[in-house]
A and B are shown apart, each in its own frame.
Chain A
Amino acid sequence: MLAAFEGVGKSFGDTVALEGLSFGVPEGSVCGLLGPNGSGKTTAIRLLLGLTRPDDGSTSLLGAPSGGRGFPSAIRQTGALVEGPSLYSRASARQNMRIQAAALGLRRAGPEIEDLLRLVGLGERAGTRSGGFSMGMKQRLGLAIALLGRPRLVILDEPTNGLDPSGIVEMRGLISRLPERGMTVLVSSHLLSEVELMCDRVTIINRGRLVADGTMSEVVGSSGGQSAYRVNVADNEVPAAVSCLVQLGLSVEPKGDGLISVSGPVTDGSQLSCVLAAEGIFVSGLSQVKPDLEDVFLSLTDGDQL
């Protein structure tokens, strides 16, 4: 695991931010960290980066315990963009990059700086003061700074905040391509669709506690294990179809216009079609409704707001 939490607890006064949090980020993955507002995502990231100390448990980065001897070396191999871009507003984009390269102890970082500025689309604006940048440009510069020194792990906290739709698409593309550069990514986002598109793993926390962790298919598939289908029959055959499906122990809900929503232990959609056909009811439409990350998230977090 490139990043790991082991029973981490953290409180701010009477407010419990995290409680017994344990999860890891495997090498080579793009891991999404999801949770409603105030669930503890940013606190978890700050603990991982050593910006704050846990009350209980421990965190480790690239195998080095936070605050331990190997931690400075581990953190130099980790790029981070936490709570928005952190820029010297009176310095240019290039100067911001140079300062970070010096802080990382990188020598002759000039070509890498220019390469990263081009990668995030700021090659033409390298000499412009970052204080004059739009939020989207600042976020992209923040990402370029996080990628300096070819880190093994990149931690991004809400990287799409403040971006317009095209900026979000662009940022998503940039993040999705990071594993090609040999980087592992931990990204927190409040945009479920973004996480679903970008990440191969997802960790969901709610009120400081872990509620789901695994690959995207594992987490999405863990939403009760029942399949849902939409069945279309003729309007006048709806009562008979409902009665037939209920007898099979399925949960059935007529939706109007001949549409029936069916959920329960159905292994295959054709099973429904056969049963109804045997009763003389012919199906004019049948589709499986797959649960998405939003369904899973809402069911695990009791509908708490993102």
Chain B
Amino acid sequence: MRAELLKVRSMPTPLWCLLAVCFCALLGLAAVWNWGLGTDLLAFDVAIGFPLAIASIVFGAWIFGVEYGQNTLRRTLTADPRRLRLFFSKFIVAVVLVSLVTVLIHLIALPLYDLAADRHGQSVEIAEFRDLVLSKLVASLVYVIVGGALVLITGSMAGGVTAALLFIFVVDTVLSLVPEIGDYSLGVALSDVLIAIRPAEDMQNDFFTEGTHPTKEAVAILVAWLVVLGGLGWLRLWRSDVK
């Protein structure tokens, strides 16, 4: 795990992900200063939540794919050949760092956005903010795992990032449109879980609707997706010869 943390510290991609999220959060602060928070803490959603989702995909893809991108898998496995250990080291570091960044960036933004919103007579409701952070935490974790899994499945960092973005924004969206089957897409299940955290009836915006599945069922579908994708990624890492 220490080696994975050192890689995060030594290489630029994680830093660029963090800087991009911070930059977007600052843009959001400017927007709140000028136009207020928007309904249902929209400024947090757009300026922090969405960049965090993209950054989580990229970071997940990077941490699992750095050995493919830099051609260092053979070096890593000749230091410690236990591939399961490598897999879980990366998994744990990815989950912990993404969780930390998601929570911290929201906590740092809270007083700043609240102060800026005060100009428009608005304030951030703590209960609403807590639910928002929890929902973003769940989304970030899902995206970091999907990003990492698709890199392992493709065996390529660039291929994995592309595949992850295509999967989340195109394939899964198309899948969700297929009658009956679509209800079991990753996006629908994630959306149901997020709605359970931030109930639609608490929202002012019409964009938020009722969920498709009961919460427990949605969680089960979501976990199943992550286990299948992660499992396929693990199988590819475990079975493949290292060039």
- Residues on A facing B (Cβ under 8 Å): 46, 49-53, 67, 71-72, 75-76, 78, 80, 82-83, 86-92, 95, 98-100, 102-105, 145
Partner of B6, one of A50, A75, A95: A95
Q: Annotate B64-80 by CB proximity to A: 1 below 8 A, 0 otherwise.
A: 00100011101111111
Given A83-B74, A88-B66, A88-B70, also A72-B81 (CB < 8 A) = yes
- List of B residues within 8 angstroms of A104 by Cβ: 79-80
Let me know if A50 and B80 touch, CB within 8 A: no
Using a Cβ–Cβ cut-off of 8 Å, how many residues does chain B contribute to the interface with A?
Answer: 24
- List of B residues within 8 angstroms of A90 by Cβ: 10-12
Given A53-B241, A76-B79, A103-B3, also A87-B72 (CB < 8 A) = yes
When C-beta atoms are compared, the residue in chain B nearest to A98 turns out to be B6
B242 within 8 A of A: yes
- Residues on B facing A (Cβ under 8 Å): 2-3, 5-7, 10-12, 66, 70-72, 74-82, 241-243
- List of B residues within 8 angstroms of A89 by Cβ: 70
15 other contacts beyond A80-B78, A104-B79, with CB at 8 A cut-off? A52-B241, A72-B81, A75-B81, A78-B78, A80-B74, A82-B74, A86-B71, A86-B74, A87-B72, A88-B72, A89-B70, A100-B79, A102-B3, A102-B6, A104-B80
A72 to chain B, nearest CB (A): 6
Given A46-B242, A102-B6, also A91-B78 (CB < 8 A) = no
Partner of B78, one of A52, A82, A99, A105: A82
When C-beta atoms are compared, the residue in chain A nearest to B85 turns out to be A72
Query: What is the bound-complex CA distance between A51 and B241, given in angstroms?
Result: 6
Q: List 12 A-B contacts (CB under 8 A).
A: A46-B74, A71-B81, A76-B79, A76-B80, A80-B78, A86-B70, A86-B71, A87-B72, A88-B10, A99-B3, A99-B7, A103-B80
Query: What is the bound-complex CA distance between A91 and B6, given in angstroms?
Result: 10
A85 to chain B, nearest CB (A): 8
Let me know if B10 and A99 touch, CB within 8 A: yes
Let me know if A95 and B242 touch, CB within 8 A: no
B50 to chain A, nearest CB (A): 27
A268 to chain B, nearest CB (A): 50
